[in-house]
Structure 1
Amino acid sequence: MIVKAIEKFMEENDIKQVSLCEKAGLTEHCISLALKGKRKLSIDEYVKICTALNVPYEYFFIKSRRKVNS
């Protein structure tokens, strides 16, 4: 799952949820529910997260596919 790849990236880079929310311009509630798998991220939200984390848009797609295929 893409949100799991985002969560892992945040853990590995010591990025707090509050910090991501501020940088991405999203609410903590939105991010929290998505990371818990209780809601899906919109494409707009995903783009904001990638921009905030300074990663290319395909980064988490690639990471999540590697996990599935390995």
Structure 2
Amino acid sequence: MTALQSDDRGRVQYVDVVLTFATLVSFGAVAPWVYNAISMGRTVLDPLSGTLLALGLPMMVIALIVSVGVSGRT
């Protein structure tokens, strides 16, 4: 690569920012109901299954952030 070429790797597109914001807002809006359902489900599940169920929403948020990072890298 020469010094005159532009290096656009690592730039996050505007569409990615808007979709990420909308997804995080929707996760925040739905989270109380999801955690209520998880707390009801944890009463009948074993400890490991309850913990894995409780980690569902945080893992989706982490996956979304990683996905935006990968999108900006390519």
Is the TM value for this pair above 0.5?
Answer: no
Determine which structure has the larger helix proportion and give its number: 2
Larger radius of gyration: 2
Could you tell me the TM-score, scaled by structure 1's length?
0.28
Which gives a bigger RCO, structure 1 or 2 (Cα 8 Å, sep 6+)?
2
Could you tell me the TM-score, scaled by structure 2's length?
0.27
